[in-house]
Amino acid sequence: MSENFTKTVVDTVTPAFTDPFQVILTTPTPEHIDRSSPEARNRVPITCHISQHGAEDSLGCLIYSIPDARRKQIYQTILNNSEEELLDATKRLSRLITSKYNVSSYVSISGNVAIDDSIVYIKRVIELIEAQMQ
């Protein structure tokens, strides 16, 4: 019997003034989250992909972030570059996820996702992570 370490959810978000987009989120299952202390290191990363066409879109910005609990820092690397606007938004979301949940993260934003919708998708991603990790 295989053990599932992650859970994936796909959600469509419809902002008020732009086209809808999909959020594909993979999180560790609750039993694989170490909550023994705030500095506990979780080994299963959170993966988030945001795009108008879900997995059908080509890969845009992809950022990998990893927490360093000893130095209380987050290190990031660009795995795939894209437009500057999307790069900044992707880095911010990846840093937020990594710092809030003390877990490494892979975050990708692709396609014509409007930068003006960043508050909408950041809020939705955090809501989905919270729901998945309970």
Q: What is the pLDDT of residue 5?
A: 84
Torsion of CA 110, 22, 26, 123, to 10 degrees: 100
Mean pLDDT of all residues in 35-41: 60
Q: Which domain does 111 fall in, by range? A: 6-132
Whether residue 123 lies inside any domain: the answer is yes
Q: Give the whole-angstrom CA distance, residue 96 versus residue 92.
A: 6
Q: What is the pLDDT of residue 80?
A: 87
Whether residue 1 lies inside any domain: the answer is no
Q: What is the pLDDT of residue 15?
A: 85
Q: What is the CATH number of the domain that holds 11?
A: 3.30.230.100
Query: Using a CB cutoff of 8 Å and minimum separation of 24, what contacts does 30-36 make?
Result: 30/133, 30/134, 32/5, 32/6, 33/133
End-to-end CA distance of the chain: 23
User: Is 85 exposed, middle or buried, given 0-12, 13-18 or 19+ CB atoms closer than 10 A?
Assistant: middle
Q: Give the whole-angstrom CA distance, residue 19 versus residue 57.
A: 15
Q: What is the pLDDT of residue 37?
A: 60
Whether residue 47 lies inside any domain: the answer is yes
Q: What angle do CA 101, 5, 38 make, to 5 degrees?
A: 25
Could you give the number of structural domains in the chain? 1
Q: Lowest-pLDDT range, 58-62, 83-87, 108-112, 120-124?
A: 83-87
**In this structure, are residues 106 and 63 in contact, taking their beta carbons and an 8 Å threshold?**
yes
Whether residue 20 lies inside any domain: the answer is yes
Band (107; pLDDT cuts 50, 70, 90): very high
Q: What is the pLDDT of residue 69?
A: 78
Q: Lowest-pLDDT range, 45-54, 80-89, 91-100?
A: 80-89
Whether residue 84 lies inside any domain: the answer is yes
Q: Give the whole-angstrom CA distance, residue 36 versus residue 114.
A: 38
What pTM, to 2 d.p., does this model score?
Answer: 0.87
What is the overall mean pLDDT for the chain? 85
Q: Which residue has the higher pLDDT, 19 or 75?
A: 75
Q: What is the pLDDT of residue 35?
A: 61
